[in-house]
Structure 1
């Protein structure tokens, strides 16, 4: 599908009721489903950017690999994004600012298409809002090495291939997690990012 036709269709689909939890649960870990942890007074807000752009007849979007560090999301695949700051006028601004800081895209060139369902992440106690946008061109990426080990450019057709879905056991800081995942370019994408991708794909396939 031509990029502009895809963006036009996605823009319309994002204006319809979102699948939300129904899509999230398909890629939720067994631990998450079992524990049913709820937000509390210390829960913070954050946002990520799901950014589509064209390249040689293909539709791409970036994922980032977090560096290994002493944190709950170390070494995991994610969308660029981060926590809400008081200087952000809203969570859309958070997603744009964080994406610019982390991977070097020009935030002012991004056209916002809509949002997916806000998702609670128990390990870090964040509510995260996935913001969907587009660039009219393929950007050059300038990853911040403190926050990004690598940027993966993912073809939308890769995500739409149902054979990339698997199930595994993961050792996360000494705890065994049973979780479904997407195998994307040799990386297991699981947890909140996989749940967001599940909702995104459900919206695209509507």
Structure 2
């Protein structure tokens, strides 16, 4: 997997399949866009691997992504040497995974999130054990794990209308993870990752 992640990536063509808006008008980052790092964290589950997501608290009204399913991660800070450090640090702060346990496999294609003005840099990492998460309650309600077999199953991708901040978005593509709806930027990042997994 290390080799594939360092090769040319599927990029926008894979991301756009899960885009909630069918336009490229919001792809280009603004000059004042903030940088963020997120981590697609894998861990073993029998013969399969699981990918970790977090559920953002609905009560955090300052977070434009409140109540959504996302990867652990956040804004790049001065203490971070690079954007991978950001993702690893935030993962430790939000779900308690020791940075020393994480082996970075590579990075996915950056994605600009217009609604929050963040340019998101996704990294992929793996730990060699099933984790006991320690949650930062102000940032995380709970964790969600998804088998790679589940994510690569075409039936997991569905469409429905979503009501977001009083506005209804029609026919939004999403990954149906049990009772959870994975949509938006995290679904777009996941879409690229899934395409890579299918090619292995």
TM-score range, shorter chain: over 0.9
The corresponding residue for 2:177 is: 184
Secondary structure of 1:74 counterpart: coil
Unaligned regions of 5+ residues in structure 1, if any? 1-9
TM value normalised by structure 1: 0.91
Runs of 4+ in 1 over 2 A off after TM superposition: 34-38, 55-58
1:25 aligns with 2:16: yes
Q: TM-score, normalised by structure 2?
A: 0.94
The equivalent residue for 1:67 is 57
Give unmatched runs, 5+ long, in structure 2: none
Query: When you count helix as a share of all residues, which structure comes out higher?
Result: 1
1:79 corresponds to which of 60, 65, 71? 71
Shift of 1:57: 2.5
State the number of aligned residues. 196
Give secondary structure in 2 for the equivalent of 1:96. Answer: helix
Alignment match, 2:83: 91
Tell me how far apart the structure 1 counterparts of residues 23 and 182 of structure 2 sit (CA, whole Å): 18
Identify the residue that residue 147 of structure 1 maps to in structure 2.
Answer: 139
Alignment map for 1:52-201 (pairs within 5 Å):
52-68=42-58, 69-70=60-61, 71-178=63-170, 179-201=172-194
> Measured at CA, do residues 116 and 37 of structure 1 come closer, stay the same or move farther in structure 2, by a change above 3 Å?
closer
> Residues 88 and 99 of structure 2 are in contact (CA less than 8 Å); yes or no, is this contact kept in structure 1?
yes
Deviation of the 1:37 alpha carbon: 5.5
